[in-house]
Amino acid sequence: MKEQDVAFIAKAFNLDTEIVKSSVEDGTLSKRLEDAMSNQVVYSGEDFEKFKNNYAEEVKDKYFGELVDLAKKGEVPHDLHSPIKGAVTEQLERQLSKKYNVDSYSDVFELVDSINKPASNKDNDEFLKQIEELKTANKTLLEEKENAVKDANDKMRSELITRDRDQILSSIPFDFSDAKADELEATQTRAKKILQNVFDADYDLDYDNGKLVVKDKSTGELVKDQATREPLPASKVFTDVAKYANMKLKSPDNGGQGGKSSGKTSSYESLEDFESTMKSQGIRRDDPKYYEEYKAFKESNIE
C-alpha cells in the first residue's frame, strides 16, 4: 500500500500510520477499521442539521434557567453583564421617554436632562412626587422579592429538617415487645411523639455544610463529642435523649430494655401539663427528679 493511502486511512480513522502499516502486513486492517467505525456516528447533511438544531435547543433550555437564577443573585457572568445591562437601559429609556413625552434625545443623559426641565414649578413638584413614588415602589418590590426568597428557603429548609428528623425517629430502636398487636402502631406513634417533644424542649436541628446537626437551645452552640469536639450525629443525640428519658429501648446484644418501671403513677393530664409543672417548679432536664417524674408520666400512657 502506498504511503499516501496509509496516511489517508490513518487520518480518516484517527489511527497511527505505523499501526495502519502493520495491520496491512498482518491482515488485520479491516478489523481495526471496523473497531474505529464502531465509535463514530456518520450523519447525512439533513440529519446533521436536525442534530445541530435540537442540540442547540437543549443547551439553551438547560442553561437559560441557570442564567436567570444567577441574574437574580447579581452573579451574571462578566461577558453577559454588559449586553444585559445595555438591554435593560434601553428598555428603561423607552419607558421614560413615553412616560414624560420626550421624543428626541441622543442618549440617556440627554433624556434625563429633558425630563428634569419641567414647564412649571407645579410640573416639577409632580415630577418629584412621581420619582419618590417610583423609589417607594422599587423598594417595596425589592423587599417583597427578598422576603419571598427567604420564605421559600425557610420552607424548604424546614421540610428537609422534618424529613430527616422523621427518618431518625423511625430508626430509634424502641422496644415494643410488650405492646399488643392491635395497639402497636399507636404505641410506636406515641413513643416517637414523646421523644420528639422531649428533644425539641432542649435542642434544635439545623444544617451545617449540608450535614444535619444538633444545637443546644439555651446556648445556640453545636452539640459536640466531648472527646473529639466533633458535632454529634443527630441520631446519637436522639438516642441519648431517649435513654435519659428512660424510654424502653432494645439492647443490641440480648434485646433487653433501656429502663425499668418505677411503679409510680402520674398525675399529669398531658405532656404540656408535665412540662409546665416542671418549669414552674424550677426542675431542669438535667435534674434526676425530672426524669423520675417523666418516667412516671410515660408509664401512665398519657399522651
Hunting for cell 422579592 — which residue is that? 145
Classify residue 160: in a domain, yes or no. Answer: no
Kindly indicate the confidence band of residue 200, based on its pLDDT and cuts at 50, 70 and 90.
very high
pLDDT of residue 270: 75
Which triple of cell numbers denotes residue 60?
Answer: 439553551
Q: What is the mean pLDDT of residues 50-55?
A: 74
Per-residue pLDDT for 219 more than 50? yes
Confidence of residue 168 (pLDDT cuts 50, 70, 90): very high
Residue 196 binned pLDDT confidence (cut-offs 50, 70, 90): very high
140, part of any domain: no
Residue type, 257: Q
Give the per-residue pLDDT at 75: 67
- The mean pLDDT value for 248-274 works out to 59
**C-beta separation of 93 from 111 below 8 A:** yes
Q: How far apart are CA 166 and CA 205, in angstroms?
A: 12
- Domain of 189, in residue numbers: 167-299
CA distance 294 to 189: 18
**3-class DSSP state for residue 145?**
helix
**Best-predicted range by mean pLDDT among 107-116, 222-231, 286-295?**
222-231
Mean pLDDT for the chain overall: 78
The answer on pLDDT for 164 being more than 70 is yes
Is the pLDDT reported for residue 236 higher than 50? yes
Question: Is there a domain that residue 222 lies in?
Answer: yes
Q: What does the block give as the cell for 38?
A: 464502531
Residue (of 172, 184, 188, 173) closest to 251 by Cα position: 173
Domain total in the chain: 2
Position 293 in a domain: yes
pLDDT of residue 193: 94
Contacts 24+ apart (CB under 8 A), 125-128: 127/100
Whether the pLDDT of residue 260 is over 60: the answer is: no
In a domain, 26, yes or no: yes
39 pLDDT tier (thresholds 50, 70, 90): low
Rounded to an integer, what distance in angstroms lies between the CA atom of residue 45 and that of residue 62?
26
User: Which of 60-69, 121-130, 259-268 tops mean pLDDT?
Assistant: 121-130
- 66, 71, 77, 81: CA torsion to nearest 10: 140
d(CA 252, CA 93): 73
Residue 213, amino acid: V
Which pLDDT tens digit goes with each residue over 289-303? Answer: 777 777 777 776 444
Task: Please check whether residue 233 lies inside any domain of the structure.
Answer: yes
Q: Tell me whether residue 161 is in a domain.
A: no
- Over pLDDT 90: what percentage of the chain? 17
pLDDT tier for residue 85 given thresholds of 50, 70 and 90: low
- Give the residue among 176, 148, 162 at the shortest CA–CA distance from 206: 162
Spatial contact of 247 and 191, defined as CB atoms under 8 Å apart: yes
Please tell me the predicted confidence (pLDDT) of residue 297. Answer: 75
Residues 180 and 232: beta-carbon distance below 8 Å: no
Residue 106 burial (10 A CB sphere; 0-12, 13-18, 19+): exposed
